[in-house]
Structure 1
């Protein structure tokens, strides 16, 4: 779905697997809260030797996304294969759909498990909930560390300033966000580009139904999550898509 941003929505917590009720609403970060998680971020080593890469794979699962959701199901194994050549990777699936539904899986290290989970999820009509996704990634980054986030979507119907504030927090935590936009909506592009910029990540567009384009983008993000900037640099020597992403990252 496309169009101008609507009024800000309540940013309620993301539901984990097995939970029946959503978490209490989170208030915006106070200055002392920001200072606390920035201090923790500085103490973290996101690419410590021997550590497993952690990538949040976030998808818009509203009704318009069904074709791309099915395509992502078929392509997600490529992320694991790319990461396997560099080290290891755990993926946490986060998606939103319907009326105020936003869910997160546990950390998954097996592509077959992720594919099975995704195959059980159908897309449903509803508005975007990107703010909830960014809040969930922030929570997880503070709790246990996240190396990168991938978002795949075609719409943005939220308050851009609110999203940018959340993106800025992820930037302070050194969690780059790769915003992959399907289609050419200019309002969506501006928002996605800014979220990527504030987090030190990158934005890229792919054509509707373009599996080859999306595959390359997901492989590049997995390379970064598993091996950091150096891994993305190596991939960029043979992959124009990876080179484009690398060129945008701080």
Structure 2
């Protein structure tokens, strides 16, 4: 059944205060599919087209997560991937990130905007998975409202399912596209409906969609790091990372961008 399309205000405050993530439940889960080389190549091409934020002192990146129970089996891995991707921008000081998540019976929360990678990682570790339906419409509507206040460089979304009308999501994605905010959607697993929805949102916003699983975590960590750095300062920021230990993602991204 299609979820309601009304989008109530997102709860927002200086901190996200929730319990620790629960331990994985017993039973082996089916391993998510890894990203294909074609998907990664397409993602890199979209990042190249993104360009640095303009007209703002800082880049602004909204990072949204599906925290429903279906993601619990791989939640710890996902948190590590998502929190580490900002460490490379720690010294740039020109990227602000807002964490948003949804779960449970209509719960959707957004953190304050932070410019410190450690603060973001701390916020992420406080989020636990609860059962519920997807609320991607709220994510897109929130991104639109935030970008109307101050330009957002990009939206990154990580999830594994879509339980809303794709047409409704496309409408909200179109609103985001009018503000020039690309959406980069990372799909955990290979749910066909989620793939269709994520690809359409990415197409409408001129963003990108890429699947990930345990076999592609390292590669996608590097790409996510590059997205964060690129949103903060464009190719110059990526070039500055080449000589640093955390610059592998920048090296690989620039190498593919130069082909």
TM-score normalised by structure 2 residue count: 0.73
Runs of 4+ deviating beyond 4 Å: 84-87, 229-237, 240-244
Partners of 2:9 and 2:112 lie apart in 1 by 15
Partners of 2:255 and 2:206 lie apart in 1 by 15
Correspondence for 1:89 among 87, 95, 98: 95
Cα RMSD (Å): 3.1
Contact between 2:103 and 2:133, CA under 8 Å: does it hold in 1?
yes
Q: Which moved more, 1:149-158 or 1:106-115?
A: 106-115
After superposition, the Cα gap between the structure-2 partners of 1:197 and 1:236, relative to the gap in structure 1 and judged at 3 Å, is farther
Q: Who is 2:159 aligned against?
A: 153
Q: Does residue 188 in structure 1 map to residue 194 in structure 2?
A: yes
Matches within 5 A, 1:48-127: 48=55, 51-84=57-90, 88-127=94-133
Partners of 2:74 and 2:238 lie apart in 1 by 24
After superposition, the Cα gap between the structure-2 partners of 1:105 and 1:161, relative to the gap in structure 1 and judged at 3 Å, is same
TM-superposed CA distance for 1:215, in Å, is 0.8
TM-superposed CA distance for 1:170, in Å, is 1.0
After superposition, the Cα gap between the structure-2 partners of 1:103 and 1:127, relative to the gap in structure 1 and judged at 3 Å, is same
Q: Which moved more, 1:77-86 or 1:168-177?
A: 77-86
How many equivalent residue pairs?
216
Relative contact order, higher structure (CA 8 A, sep 6+): 2
- 1:140 aligns to what SS in structure 2? helix
Q: Does residue 164 in structure 1 map to residue 170 in structure 2?
A: yes
Contact between 2:14 and 2:111, CA under 8 Å: does it hold in 1?
no
Q: Does residue 17 in structure 1 map to residue 2 in structure 2?
A: no
- 1:6 aligns to what SS in structure 2? coil
After superposition, the Cα gap between the structure-2 partners of 1:16 and 1:178, relative to the gap in structure 1 and judged at 3 Å, is same
Partners of 1:76 and 1:236 lie apart in 2 by 14
Q: Who is 1:213 aligned against?
A: 219
Correspondence for 1:138 among 144, 148, 170: 144
Unpaired runs of 5+ residues, structure 1, are 20-44
TM-score normalised by structure 1 residue count: 0.75
- 1:90 aligns to what SS in structure 2? strand
Unpaired runs of 5+ residues, structure 2, are 16-51, 243-247
Contact between 1:68 and 1:209, CA under 8 Å: does it hold in 2?
no
Q: Who is 1:24 aligned against?
A: none
Partners of 1:229 and 1:183 lie apart in 2 by 31
